[in-house]
Amino acid sequence: MISIVCPVCNEQEAIEPLMARLLPSLDACDTEYELIFVDDGSRDRTLSVLIEIRQRTPGIRVIQLSRNFGKEAALTAGIDRARGDAVIPIDADLQDPPELIPAMIAKWREGYQVVLAKRTSRGSDTWLKRSTARWFYRLHNRISEVPLPENVGDFRLMDKSVVVAVRRMPERHRFMKGLFAWVGFHTAVIEYERPPRIAGLSKFRGWYLWNFALEGITSFSTVPLRIWSYVGAGVAALSFLYALALITRTLILGIDVPGYASIMTVVLFLGGLQLLGLGIIGEYLGRLHDEAKQRPIYIVNQEIGD
Ligand code: UDP
Ligand code: MG
């Protein structure tokens, strides 16, 4: 059996078109399936649309969270409850084409435990999003122990063994595609063209994306924390050379009172550097604080369907 996990937040217009394409693709696969929708605190008619669809379509389970916990938490809730031998997370907005599912399942049957759907181009994104995404992957992969495959989202097939491994990761800050990559396993890639969103607006824009990138880096790398000893050592070495030069000059040319500009420059530069270092420690400390509280990742309000 295959479990499809779809986190939804204010997607009332997208669900019907999604079902219209998802069901034929699933029927083409010749497997049993369950569809798990996780309603992540929608404020529109999403939940009633889901309940209505459930009445005429078998194999649908709906999990309603008690408020909006974010896509990563909603996905976790769905994956925790999936009973299939393979799990496929999919976005509700048809940016993840359901027509790929039969190809994913075929690869899975060949023996791959993870089948990634990789987007061939970012043509549907703005220039800004394309270039920031490229920089993010470049930086992330340089400083993290496990590289993230580029241009791959949460849309993928995971065998049960992978799902069990992902469920064992208890962290509260959940950068899902990082967690998926971290567990490893035998992986195949299929490529696709990512279409624009079918209805509504993206929930990941601007500041939200920046925080998402911070989550990715702080969850999988401690380089930003550790780099400060090296920056400090470098700055100290430079100051030592500068001090030597100053002393020599004073010995040769005598005492020279002016020097306001150089002192201000050095003081401001070091002050900025120290605040930056502190800020980065704060990023990690804040996350440690969240982890230490051991709160649940999400709260389920109700589960509809068995
Ligand atoms: N989503 C969610 N909770 C949120 C934000 C988004 O469950 O707080 C769902 C959303 O309904 C969609 C998927 O996550 O099914 C991807 O969201 P979106 O399309 O807005 O992101 P993008 O494709 O722009 O990265
Ligand atoms: Mg989308």
Residue nearest to atom 13 of ligand 1 (CA): 91
pLDDT at 244 (0 to 100): 87
What does the alpha-carbon distance between residue 202 and residue 208 come to, in Å, rounded to a whole number?
Answer: 11
CATH of the domain at 43: 3.90.550.10
Which amino acid does the sequence have at 221? S
Q: Which pTM value belongs to this model?
A: 0.80
Q: Which residue has the higher pLDDT, 256 or 227?
A: 227
Q: Are residues 19 and 111 located together in one domain of the fold?
A: yes
Residue nearest to atom 18 of ligand 1 (CA): 202
Q: Which residue has the higher pLDDT, 122 or 212?
A: 212
Full residue range of the structural domain in which residue 119 is found: 2-221+295-304
What does the alpha-carbon distance between residue 16 and residue 147 come to, in Å, rounded to a whole number?
Answer: 36
Q: What average pLDDT is seen over the chain?
A: 89
pLDDT at 167 over 80: yes
Q: State the greatest distance between any 2 C-alpha atoms of the chain, in Å, as a whole number.
A: 93
Sorting pLDDT into bands at 50, 70 and 90, what band is 82? very high
Percent of the chain with pLDDT over 90: 43
pLDDT at 112 (0 to 100): 94
Q: Are residues 85 and 205 located together in one domain of the fold?
A: yes
pLDDT at 159 (0 to 100): 95
Pocket test for ligand 1, best of 22, 91, 209 (most atoms within 8 A of CB): 91
Q: Which residues pair with 65 in a beta bridge?
A: 300
User: Mean pLDDT across the stretch 10-27?
Assistant: 91
With beta carbons less than 8 A apart as the criterion, state whether 94 and 194 touch: no
pLDDT at 66 (0 to 100): 95
What stretches of the chain show up as alpha helix (H) in DSSP?
Answer: 12-27, 46-56, 71-81, 101-110, 127-143, 160-167, 176-183, 207-220, 223-253, 260-293
Sorting pLDDT into bands at 50, 70 and 90, what band is 306? confident
Q: State whether the Cα torsion 240-242-248-251 is positive or negative.
A: negative
Reported as a single tens digit per residue, the pLDDT across 87-106 is 999 999 888 999 999 999 99
pLDDT at 253 over 80: yes
**89 CB near ligand 1 (under 6 Å):** no
Q: Are residues 12 and 120 located together in one domain of the fold?
A: yes
Q: Are residues 43 and 156 located together in one domain of the fold?
A: yes
Sorting pLDDT into bands at 50, 70 and 90, what band is 35? very high
Q: Under 8 Å CB-to-CB from 1, ≥6 apart: which residues?
A: 31, 32, 33, 34, 83, 84, 85
Q: Are residues 34 and 136 located together in one domain of the fold?
A: yes
What's the structural domain count of the chain?
A: 2
Q: Are residues 249 and 156 located together in one domain of the fold?
A: no
